[in-house]
Structure 1
């Protein structure tokens, strides 16, 4: 991110995208020329293979090929979903809604961050790269480390609530930033708060999602959660330009902050039913 802005500042966006395309090409070329590793794919997926055999053995009334297909479909696709809904029962929908809305405020706001910095505030590309990409990166790492410590110390649901509140609140700092002339120090303070809260919230959310995945279906269930937690924000972020054009940046960031309120109430709901969630949580191996 920072490199692209530096190149655009000193050369042009055309050169910046050409460099990014060339760097992507390095990865593509590496994949094409690299030799295929000698991997026992059956052994790598032995847990799924065993599950498929177990499920197929329950369907001996079917032709062998159909029984194997039904066993695979249950083990790889239907099983993870049925396991989640059977385990969490009446709380399953609330959990999925929380996963969907937890990062919606942060993701929707992030879509318009660079246009806000560059076009509205008037910061140079170098200033944006220095503060939001380089300095912001280290603040995110600091937030993640702090989030991990806090989760261990106070438990995941309390930090999940703190992350939801902080994410919504830091969006309102951009409303304040929009009211004043560009100042790098003020930008650094806002970016620090935003990235620290984002790091804490992400760690708490990942820890919470990991605690809810079953050892038998870890990959599929975590893929479901991780896809769901970004999809609504990405979708709504596509309309952010319309909101800014019709109302302005201050109103947009206020709306983005308010979009975080449902997550706060849903976390409170989960905390209220914490004992129930703990009782339904899957047992972890080891």
Structure 2
């Protein structure tokens, strides 16, 4: 337990608060605001699509790896403030979130709900980018020879996230019952983000940057690009740009695709598969480029920007699959994708369920926020210590079973009505499941990352998890409506969603244990 007094672990806890609080701004608070404005369950569920940016933030995560703000950090060091690129990214995102809160306070869902949701999308984008930098800061703060500190940092990150989401999230829910208007609450939340910004400036500097290895890979790509014919350079640039074109096209409303197809539940998963396939093709083409160099040179203006682009995009993917092996890497990505889908369906509609079943805003704030906050801190810190001592595999498996049990507890509440003792019991089980699974998940993903590409590689894996947790759960309101408001059956169905993830985890036992034993340190 002494690991939690480490200065780097404490810094991770504070940044965890910064990561969790935006989910109050665009999650609980916005959901209640829309509910009180009279929007339907289905509309509220579709508003959750703003969380989809968390599922695709890996697309711009290479920028966090490659843009280091060296001039800015050098300038502020002259006045005694030691900054690194990770914290500069965090600070910029925090300022954007605060501005977004102020803008949201100027809108009303009764008059223009669309504008309010669009600003929420802006906040979500800044928050998703902040998550990239925060995760990279945590990974780069610890050596792989420090597994206990890595587990402790995972516990601190989880405890911090829930301190921001549930602890600070208690305030707007509680104050909303004390005659505070939602615009006033969003101004207050902007002030909280500004306070977090001031703390970020004085956190410890990361231990690893990976700048030297990135430089070597850049030189390697530039040499290969130089020996590539011009038409192949344009072809490669086009191929590498296609994933971003697909995402921009989809965010623009997927013009040319009928609404009936866009509203199909398989449409977004197909888009994600297309993007990942294009990224894989780009990585494969780059690998061929490196292994089939010619003696001839074809210099052009594209050489430097293309090499930079390939280092940022293809470099992390190539490293990830080469180090972990294609079979294990793909299996792990599948596990990350489906592990928390059931928990996501519960979380997305939980506030609506609490209100419809008969709980007040104060009861929701007291038990769902404050109680969950303390439980998660306890279970996260304990889980970090136990996972470091007894192994991450056991932690993941036990937490998966607990997630299914917690959903069944909410099904019980739906049958008996708004019982406070049963509500508390469900919150305890749910807090245990979420904290334990997240700590083990974060520790495992951190160990799979290379310090040279920690932002991109961690964001790729976290985005897959967020895709299952947020994008698919946007249909949760429709599922409840399809079940004619049968909340009990809804939670039973969500509890069964954990089975595929546990099946994959069981088959990955040996590779995971080998990863923990053999993972080398790379700086």
TM-score, scaled to structure 1: 0.85
Q: SS of the residue aligned with 1:157?
A: helix
1:277: how far off?
4.5
> Tell me, which stretches of 5 or more residues in structure 2 are unaligned?
1-168, 202-208, 227-296
TM-score, scaled to structure 2: 0.48
Q: SS of the residue aligned with 1:217?
A: helix
Is contact 2:210–2:451 with CA below 8 Å preserved after alignment?
no
Q: Deviations over 1:137-175 (max 9, x none)?
A: 111111111211121121111111111111122111111
Partner of 1:20: 185
Q: Distance between the aligned counterparts of 1:148 and 1:68, measured in 2?
A: 44
Partner of 2:307: 71
1:164 counterpart = 2:164 = no
Q: SS of the residue aligned with 1:10?
A: coil
1:7 counterpart = 2:175 = yes
Partner of 2:162: none
> Tell me, which stretches of 5 or more residues in structure 1 are unaligned?
37-43
Partner of 1:41: none
Partner of 2:493: 255
Give RMSD over aligned pairs: 2.8
Is contact 1:104–1:230 with CA below 8 Å preserved after alignment?
no
Q: SS of the residue aligned with 2:451?
A: coil
Is contact 2:211–2:452 with CA below 8 Å preserved after alignment?
no
> Among residues 418, 422, 439, which one is paired with 1:203 in the alignment?
439
Q: Deviations over 1:221-246 (max 9, x none)?
A: 00111111111221221111122123
Is contact 1:104–1:259 with CA below 8 Å preserved after alignment?
yes
Partner of 1:46: 211
1:24: how far off?
4.7
- Equivalent residue pairs, number: 273
Is contact 1:53–1:68 with CA below 8 Å preserved after alignment?
no
Q: Distance between the aligned counterparts of 2:380 and 2:177, measured in 1?
A: 30
Is contact 1:214–1:283 with CA below 8 Å preserved after alignment?
no
Is contact 2:405–2:429 with CA below 8 Å preserved after alignment?
no
1:133 counterpart = 2:361 = no
Q: SS of the residue aligned with 1:230?
A: helix
Q: How does 1:228-239 map to 2 (within 5 A)?
A: 228-239=464-475
Is contact 1:136–1:191 with CA below 8 Å preserved after alignment?
yes
CA 1:92–1:186: 2 relative to 1, 3 Å? same
CA 1:185–1:229: 2 relative to 1, 3 Å? same
Q: Distance between the aligned counterparts of 1:265 and 1:111, measured in 2?
A: 25
Q: How does 1:155-194 map to 2 (within 5 A)?
A: 155-194=391-430
> Among residues 487, 496, 508, which one is paired with 1:270 in the alignment?
508
Is contact 1:98–1:266 with CA below 8 Å preserved after alignment?
yes
